[in-house]
């Protein structure tokens, strides 16, 4: 068989030589033959200059391995162990009858554990993982591929992005994986997913980039994910998505599955937003500081596109603009459609948020908008959100709001709690674990509109009302635009 193959190659070589000697219409056969013999390396018509991607050619290329790449990156992919102490309560605790006749001993707290993956992106010990891996954790440990374990400090956690940054310390530098440019990815590029699925140990799977700029609601503020068919399973969260240059181009975050296991649809947070989050952590921030735009946006539907005379539904439609905001100073108006930022296309409001979030504070972004059928270019400054008073007040006393931390809504706080930029009022910023406020179902981001018939205008007023001595409570909460009215005896 091998002799036949060698004979075929030799015959093709002779045929190629004879055809090259002729200057005739036989060139039409010679061109594809040349590409066949040279492994398809010649640039096809229409392919960009300098393009090096091609399909494997020959048995030798099919026997190539990802092993050198894995050896380089795998030491920087770690396991993340998070533990949370949860107070164990008897169902009869708090009942006056049972507490009167029975003496309930204090039950020891239970420990809940979670397992995920992470990536060392800096030799100083900076680890990136997912927020949901270390959510409300009291203790987080990081285990390297060589078996060493380190206690870690949480530098930054951002639920909206589903990202967290940890810090581990050692006398020697840690192995680190470089962050690549996720904007350079194309659909069809080969990628590797490295992590610790189901806790079985470090595992590498391969696949391709299946899609870009995927929008997934409920996972991240910026629904702008890399989709891959490389197998991602529970435990892979926080692991690395690696390109063929040995760079981390994404942090594996979620899967689409009806069974709980991989069916070839996995999603990763792009490395460009990860890089911005890491820089925030290095600069001492405990959450990612998003640029303040001062405008609300919504998707462009087919009906809206038809009404605005657009060729197709794409972009971010401006619904309102806050006065004196960066958007207002740039000249952005309601009914404008943002279609690009710094020359990069914007298909959805989530894509717009992603494009702006990857820009450093202090720069100026060039915004391309459609207005009345004309395309305009506006210069918008990339600024921090105004902090407002910045005063957070903790509610005490024995009422249902005890244990809640509240503040007056500011642009910075609205951004942090994922509220509309035009929001106002007094908002719940945080809740103490196992507090009365947490037990009645209050959540961070709830805006308190009214308590016992009085409209809430300031955090000080709310503190005075909620610490008063009364057993009956009536209050109104604004939760994501939904009004909730509650009456209870507490």
Radius of gyration of the chain (CA): 29
* Contact between residue 265 and residue 230 where contact means Cβ atoms under 8 Å apart: no
Residue 265 CA to chain centroid, in angstroms?
A: 16
C-alpha dihedral (33, 39, 45, 48), degrees to nearest 10:
-170
Token pair in block for residue 125: 């010990």
Provide the phi-psi class of 463: left if phi over 0, else alpha when psi is between -120 and 50, else beta. Answer: alpha
Q: Which residues, at least 6 apart from 127, have a Cβ–Cβ distance to it below 8 Å?
A: 78, 80, 118, 119, 120, 121, 142, 152, 165, 166, 167, 168
Q: How far apart are CA 207 and CA 228, in angstroms?
A: 7
* Cα within 13 Å of Cα(92), Cβ side: 10
**Active site members:** 132, 162, 237
Report the DSSP beta bridge partners of residue 320. Answer: 296
For every residue of 429-463, DSSP letters joined together read EEE-TT-HHHHTT--TT-EEEEETTEE---HHHHH
* Contact between residue 428 and residue 446 where contact means Cβ atoms under 8 Å apart: yes
Q: How far apart are CA 150 and CA 169, in angstroms?
A: 8
288-314 burial by CB neighbour count: b if 16+ within 10 A, else e?
A: bbbbbbbbbbeebeeebbeebebeebb
Pairing outcome for strands 426-431 and 447-451: antiparallel
Q: How far is CA 176 from each of CA 79, 121, 228, 363, 443, rounded to the nearest angstrom?
A: 14, 5, 23, 29, 37
């Amino acid at each position: 068989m091998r002799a036949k193959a060698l004979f075929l190659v030799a015959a093709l070589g002779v045929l190629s030589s004879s055809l090259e000697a002729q200057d005739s219409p036989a060139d039409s056969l010679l061109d594809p033959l040349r590409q066949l013999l040279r492994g398809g390396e010649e640039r096809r018509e229409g392919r960009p200059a300098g393009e090096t991607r091609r399909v494997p050619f020959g048995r030798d290329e099919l026997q190539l391995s990802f092993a050198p790449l894995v050896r380089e990156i795998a030491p920087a992919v770690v396991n993340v162990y998070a533990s949370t102490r949860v107070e164990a309560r008897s169902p009869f605790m708090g009942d006056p009858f049972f507490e009167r006749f029975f003496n309930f001993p204090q039950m020891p707290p239970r420990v809940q554990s979670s397992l995920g993956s992470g990536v060392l992106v800096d030799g100083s010990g900076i680890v990136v993982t997912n927020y949901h891996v270390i959510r409300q954790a009291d203790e987080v440990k990081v285990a390297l591929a060589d078996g060493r374990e380190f206690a870690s400090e949480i530098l930054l956690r951002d639920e909206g992005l589903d990202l967290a940054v940890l810090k581990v310390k050692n006398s020697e530098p840690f192995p680190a994986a470089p962050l690549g440019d996720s904007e350079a990815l194309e659909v069809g590029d080969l990628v590797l997913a490295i992590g610790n699925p189901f806790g079985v140990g470090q595992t590498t799977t391969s696949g391709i980039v299946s899609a870009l700029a995927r929008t997934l609601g409920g996972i991240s503020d910026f629904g702008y994910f890399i989709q891959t068919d490389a197998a991602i399973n529970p435990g892979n969260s926080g692991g690395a998505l690696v390109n063929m240059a040995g760079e981390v181009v994404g942090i594996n975050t979620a899967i689409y599955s009806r069974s709980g296991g991989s069916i070839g649809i996995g999603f990763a947070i792009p490395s460009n937003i990860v890089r911005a989050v890491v820089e925030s952590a290095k600069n001492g921030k405990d959450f990612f500081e998003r640029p303040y735009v001062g405008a609300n946006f919504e998707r462009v539907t087919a009906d809206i596109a038809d009404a605005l005379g657009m060729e197709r539904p794409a972009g971010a439609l401006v619904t309102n603009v806050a006065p004196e905001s960066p958007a207002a100073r740039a000249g952005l108006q309601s009914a404008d459609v943002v279609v690009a930022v710094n020359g990069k296309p914007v298909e959805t409001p989530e894509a717009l948020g992603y494009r702006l979030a990857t820009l450093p504070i202090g720069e100026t972004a060039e915004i391309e908008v459609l207005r009345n059928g004309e395309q305009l270019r506006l210069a918008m400054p990339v600024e921090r959100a105004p902090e407002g008073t910045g005063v957070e007040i903790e509610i005490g006393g024995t009422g249902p709001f005890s244990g809640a931390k509240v503040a007056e809504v500011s642009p910075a706080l609205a951004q942090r709690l994922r509220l509309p930029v035009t929001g106002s009022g007094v908002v719940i910023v945080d809740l103490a674990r196992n507090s009365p406020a947490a037990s009645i179902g209050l959540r961070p981001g709830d805006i308190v509109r009214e308590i016992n018939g009085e409209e809430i205008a300031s955090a000080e007023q709310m503190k005075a009302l909620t610490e008063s001595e009364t057993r009956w409570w009536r209050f109104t909460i604004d939760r994501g635009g939904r009004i909730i009215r509650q009456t209870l005896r507490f």
